[in-house]
Amino acid sequence: MNTENHSQTAAFLWSIADLLRGDFKQSQYGRIILPFTLLRRMECVLEPTKDKVVQQATVHQHKPDHVREMLLRRAAGDLQFFNASPLTLGTLSDTQTAADLMSYAQSFSTDACEIFEHFEFENFVQQLSSANLLYQVVQRFAATDLSPARISNFGMGIIFEELIRRFAESSNETAGEHFTPRDIVHLTTSLVITGQDDKLAPNRIVTIYDPTAGTGGFLSEGDEYIQSISEKVSVSLHGQELNPESYAICKADMLIKGQDVANIKLGNTLSNDQLTGPEHRFDFMLSNPPFGVEWKKVQKQITGEHKHKGFNGRFGPGLPRVSDGSLLFLLHLVSKMRDPRDGGSRIGIILNGSPLFTGGAGSGESEIRRYLLQHDLVEAIVALPTDMFYNTGIATYVWLLSNHKPAERRGKVQLIDGSQHFAKMRKSLGSKRQYVTAEQINELVCLYGAFEETPQSKIFPINAFGYRRITVERPLRLNFQASAERIDNVLQEKAIQKLDDTARQQLADALGAMDPSPLYRNREQFAKLLKKTLTAHGVSLSTPEQKALLNGLGKRDPKADICTTKGKPEPDTGLRDNENVPLGESVYDYFQREVIPHVPDAWINESKRDALDGEVGIVGFEIPFNRHFYVFQPPRPLEEIDRDLKACTDRIKQMIEELSA
């Protein structure tokens, strides 16, 4: 069944919502249509073994629940679930539909029953019944063919995602938080799994994990991809999802696939990771965490883990700013990597642009990039086209990470510009106006696999992204004068305003007695004169008050003498600057070459040292992706611009003349 037919099926299921208009809010449509779609799909999947399971249910009805469940699952064949009721959607009574339907839904095996609880199914069934709509809705679904012979599991995933997108649009929710467009899923999965033949050897069990599983798109695609290239491999899928409805769909999908649904968890991955321990290390990890979403709600747990567990926890390298938690998901995935001696792991994660460069040297983001790059975990970053996602048109990137790089990639990072690999969609879906074709996916995978320098592929050593931020100081130079304006400045200083009225007046009188005209360009000389004047007027000031006095009477002057403290030049905080020195180059050589010719009196503040290596200058890492692919376009000749401007002004003149005629 092709994608167009999937869309038609989704459109038909969506049309059932027309029955709900007036009795339900638009935001509730999805809470009704999705569980009914799931129920009908599960019914169609179970149909071949239905009679056998019902018969066995009667035979084993008095056995303990766990024994009965095991026997009925066996009767259902290879499936991980069953329904023991003789009822179907098509045979529900028109007089007691609600009671029959709940009896039918509750006859599923335990895991399947839980799926309907997450949709609050019983509550909506009662509301439909009260509105006299339940039987009509049931009949519509009973007439829809969702059998595996007609629609594959993968196709069903597309149908669910299309329904969620439509419902999210109609109720102004964010559909993109629940699933990733299938072209992007396919591209990311292809990049992560390509060339991993050793992991896909016959009779191996391959594990795939998604910490932001949504409806299970990445897990399904990973499974499908591996099965298509290696039939004798068993694939074990693991995931965690925050949204109860997305989780329920994902879990249903896993049940139908015959996966162990105990590996699919509900909850916040960052604050409550439910797949912990050494047994939860995965071969392949795929994720599309929410872009630019703050993590304030879970800040306490994450900060606690960072402080108390350090590198024994997930967030040892550092924490990003609270406004964007995407790098936390990346660190979470890195913590789930297998030991390289056991074959290591590969990660494909979709991020927006900010994790590439946000945060200067010493910031949480920079320290995370530093950790990933210096531990040689980043293999490649692929820039995607814009307008690829349902809820945003921003630039996005696929990061590929590995802790078991092939020899030729060690110590290097490949950047691939895939921003022009797109085709226009005939009809936009939300913000998604473009998609990546199968041929373009193949081109990008080949660019990655070839690992060669081309206009679209650049290869860099790790240190190319690092720098040391040195603090450049320049001396403080001040002139001093006891003018009326500067005396007024002194009286506005906070420390002076704290004096009582008598003391302030005494100070003002003393300063007023000084000659207002001379300009002193040496602080030491002026300070002696000032001290003499204050003593003569019986004024005694504390150290902070003396500082405030000189601050009010002083003014920056590049021609003045350098202000010194204990014989050393005092830095001028207003002239303080930073320089980023490429990592590996001597900061002193750089300073002599790039700074001293322009500001001969400058010096490096050697107290600013890196927390990790103790060297002068704080280490920072950033990946200025676009800079490496920038191609200079020379401006048009002036004559051509003048000609265009003249043509434009002539046209305007003509229009004005026509109006005034």
If you average pLDDT over residues 576-605, what whole number do you get?
Answer: 95
pLDDT in tens, 27-41: 788 889 989 999 999
Q: Give yes or no for residue 4 having a pLDDT over 80.
A: no
| Angle in degrees, 0-180, between the axes of helices 523-536 and 543-553, rounded to the nearest 10 | 120
Q: Give yes or no for residue 311 having a pLDDT over 70.
A: yes
The count of other CB atoms within 10 Å of the CB of residue 316 is: 17
How many whole angstroms from its chain centre is CA 34? 27
Could you give the CA distance from residue 539 to residue 535 in angstroms, rounded to a whole number?
6
**Tell me, what's the pLDDT at 178?**
53
Q: Give yes or no for residue 315 having a pLDDT over 90.
A: yes
Averaged confidence pLDDT in the chain:
90
**Tell me, what's the pLDDT at 425?**
81
**Strand 432-435 to 412-417 pairing:** unpaired
Query: Residue 504: which H helix or E strand, with range?
Result: helix 501-512
What letter represents residue 133's amino acid?
Answer: L
Q: Could you give the C-alpha distances from 629 to 391, 455, 457, 620, 624, in angstroms and in order? A: 27, 8, 9, 22, 10
Q: The pTM is what?
A: 0.85
**Tell me, what's the pLDDT at 88?**
93
Residue 216's closest CA among 172, 169, 265, 280? 265
Question: 176 pLDDT band (50/70/90 cuts)?
Answer: very low
If you average pLDDT over residues 247-253, what whole number do you get?
Answer: 88
Q: Could you give the C-alpha distances from 512 to 368, 422, 498, 537, in angstroms and in order? A: 58, 76, 20, 11
The count of other CB atoms within 10 Å of the CB of residue 437 is: 12
- The partner residues of 212 in beta bridges, in order of sequence, read none
Structure-derived torsion over alpha carbons of residues 241, 235, 380, 187, reported in degrees to the nearest 10: -80
| Angle in degrees, 0-180, between the axes of helices 134-142 and 121-130, rounded to the nearest 10 | 120
What is the maximum span of the chain, computed from C-alpha positions, in angstroms?
113
If you average pLDDT over residues 469-491, what whole number do you get?
Answer: 94
**HSE of 387 in the Cβ direction (CA atoms, 13 Å)?**
15
Question: 264 pLDDT band (50/70/90 cuts)?
Answer: very high
**Tell me, what's the pLDDT at 1?**
47
Handedness of CA 83, 87, 91, 92 (dihedral sign): negative
If you average pLDDT over residues 111-125, what whole number do you get?
Answer: 90
pLDDT in tens, 353-389: 999 999 999 999 999 999 999 999 999 999 999 887 7
If you average pLDDT over residues 396-408, what whole number do you get?
Answer: 95
If you average pLDDT over residues 229-256, what whole number do you get?
Answer: 88
If you average pLDDT over residues 199-205, what whole number do you get?
Answer: 87
Per DSSP, helices labelled H in 143-243 are 153-170, 182-193, 217-229
With a CB cutoff of 8 Å and minimum separation 6, the contacts of 528 are: none
If you average pLDDT over residues 604-617, what whole number do you get?
Answer: 94
Q: Give yes or no for residue 174 having a pLDDT over 60.
A: no
**Tell me, what's the pLDDT at 466?**
96
What letter represents residue 121's amino acid?
Answer: F
**Tell me, what's the pLDDT at 159?**
87
**Strand 396-402 to 346-352 pairing:** antiparallel
If you average pLDDT over residues 484-490, what whole number do you get?
Answer: 91
CATH number listed for the domain at residues 174-465: 3.40.50.150
| Angle in degrees, 0-180, between the axes of helices 110-118 and 244-257, rounded to the nearest 10 | 150
